[in-house]
Amino acid sequence: MCGIVGYVGSQSALEVVLAGLRRLEYRGYDSAGVAVLADGQIASARKSGKLVNLEKALVDGPLPAGATGIGHTRWATHGGPTDANAHPHLDNAGRVAVVHNGIIENFAELRAELAGRGHVLTSETDTETVAHLLAEEFSGCADLAEAMRLVCRRLQGAFTLVAVHADAPDVVVGARRNSPLVVGVGEGEAFLASDVAAFIAHTRSAIELGQDQVVEVRRDEVVVTGFDGRPAEVRHFRVDWDAAAAEKGGYASFMHKEIAEQPRAVADTLLGRIGADGALILDELRIPAAELREVDKVVVVACGTAFHAGLIAKYAIEHWTRLPCEVELASEFRYRDPILDARSLVIAISQSGETMDTLMALRHAREQGSRVLAICNTNGSTIPRESDAVLYTHAGPEVAVASTKAFLTQLVACYLVALYLGQARGTKWGDEVLGVVRDLADIAGAVERVLGDMEPVRELARSLAGAGTVLFLGRHVGYPVALEGALKLKELAYMHAEGFAAGELKHGPIALVEEGLPVVVVVPSPRGRCVLHDKIVSNIQEIRARGARTIVIAEEGDDAVLPYADHVVRVPVTPTLLQPLVTTVPLQVFACELAVARGNEVDQPRNLAKSVTVE
């Protein structure tokens, strides 16, 4: 959720921090603030609402120039989105400033202790307690990093903290537990941020910060320790995309841009993973083939759009490996006492690598002795670091809150894992694997073709801007696609939308069908699943007879749907299991265009954040 930026160097800290916060706006927020160290003092400004409100306040009341500073975009948890609750928070003397992402679970107890010692707290937040605790601890040791370590040992919950002190003008200190924080290392300057996007315009050199670690950054030095004060191993990595990748590049929104980038993202995710002999080479997995042969169950855990990728993965995993596969909402997983052991393979899917529900599910799985494989788009994030193996997607930065290219690349990664499991277990012969790999290699071009013929979909979306409800139907791998189409419409257009398995239509949902109701139907291939194709054509007939406005997504050449479709959206012919890679794209365009027609902000939908880092 919240965006955090810290800077120490020779540039204007205010300009660097504000620019970083702009790059983190996609995370979702409802207030913003900055603090700058100048002339032995801390100067700060905070405003509720969007970053532009803060920038206007800074024009009206400029802060003094300084080369050390911190900033924050807040998603309200403790206390509403007001000026008083916005970060940074200062102690009563105004000597320490803190920004925070996460939830401090024992803040009420700490707040009561502070009040008992005469501290006056002026906000409703849990964060303000940290500022006061840091001030107390610093007064006893005059070392901001040590003060942070002492405070962190008292905190319960999930948190990222970044702080500055007026008596330590050339250092910024950060700490993390169950919440993201990365370090950027430049020439004579250093950065702290919740995402590398905040500092990518300045440096691509980054450091992973591990669990329960404190980092102190100066212009030419980075020191990492555990909460216990012991030196920690520093893990460097290089960001493989540049600042231009995080810009709109002439598109109306980041979502428009990211939809258009999908052919390249799909191709990049396949790059370098196929040997000359056609065998898959997934060096990142780091799990020996002998161990994979011992697996007797696969469990996929994920949330939101990633969960839908997992539902599609189930079809491929079971078909290609003959292993039973369960797909679980990560938020529910550990609370139902799942049956896991050392022969279970758990696949955790997360675009950000910081999704708290998925992280906690991963940890539970490891406690049961299971191997965990992460599918993730963000190098250096927590979920890959805590997994036994990782397969990185190569979608590049995804800024829009509603996932598009991350979803398609997650699907590609899931297919690769399923094929690799089949290859390791001997359930797929080499020529069979090579055949599927060749089909996957053709998908980027197929997605490009779909995107080239989307104007009729945009026109249709605009015509439905006044609709109150849209239903989505699918069968087999088309069912998760229907769920994803409905989710996109909910996220972006704020409309009631539901996805159903078409076979369940007669078991209740058909009661929703009335005159003029738009119903989107994802039709299976008439070749790969001919029985299901005939059944879903019958479904289309049933809803059309009851007055529905039928919008049919069907393969090129499938003329059986024509008599019953009010609108037909064509997609290229693809193998059955890979069809979601092309049928999802029109639904993304449909939701995006409909949201624009309704006047909504597609990059930052209301009430949503890009990365959900609290349970």
- Enumerate the active-site residues: 2, 610
Let me know: does 14 contact 30? Beta carbons within 8 Å. Answer: no
Q: How far is residue 157 from each of residues 45, 103, 213, 383, 608, measured CA to CA in Å?
A: 27, 6, 14, 17, 22
Torsion angle (degrees, nearest 10) of CA 444, 448, 454, 455: 170
- Please calculate the CA angle 243-355-213 and round it to the nearest 5 degrees: 80
Phi, psi dihedral angles at 608 (to 5 degrees): -115, 150
Rounded distance between C-alpha atoms, residue 36 and residue 281, angstroms:
49
Q: How far is residue 212 from each of residues 148, 153, 389, measured CA to CA in Å?
A: 11, 9, 21
Rounded distance between C-alpha atoms, residue 139 and residue 485, angstroms:
55
Rounded distance between C-alpha atoms, residue 482 and residue 587, angstroms:
9
371-376 and 344-350 beta bridge pairing: parallel
Rounded distance between C-alpha atoms, residue 429 and residue 435, angstroms:
10
> Cis peptide leading into 88, omega within 30 of 0?
yes
Question: What six digits make up the tokens of 508?
Answer: 């209740």
* Crossing angle (nearest 10°) for helices 580-597 and 455-463: 50
- Please calculate the CA angle 377-382-384 and round it to the nearest 5 degrees: 55
Phi, psi dihedral angles at 325 (to 5 degrees): -130, 125
Question: Which residues have a Cβ under 8 Å from the Cβ of 13 and sit 6 or more positions away?
Answer: 7, 36, 37, 66, 67, 68, 69
Rounded distance between C-alpha atoms, residue 1 and residue 282, angstroms:
31
Q: Is 496 exposed, middle or buried (0-12, 13-18, 19+ CB in 10 A)?
A: middle
Torsion angle (degrees, nearest 10) of CA 257, 263, 265, 268: -150
| Residue 296: Cβ within 10 Å count | 11
Rounded distance between C-alpha atoms, residue 75 and residue 314, angstroms:
34
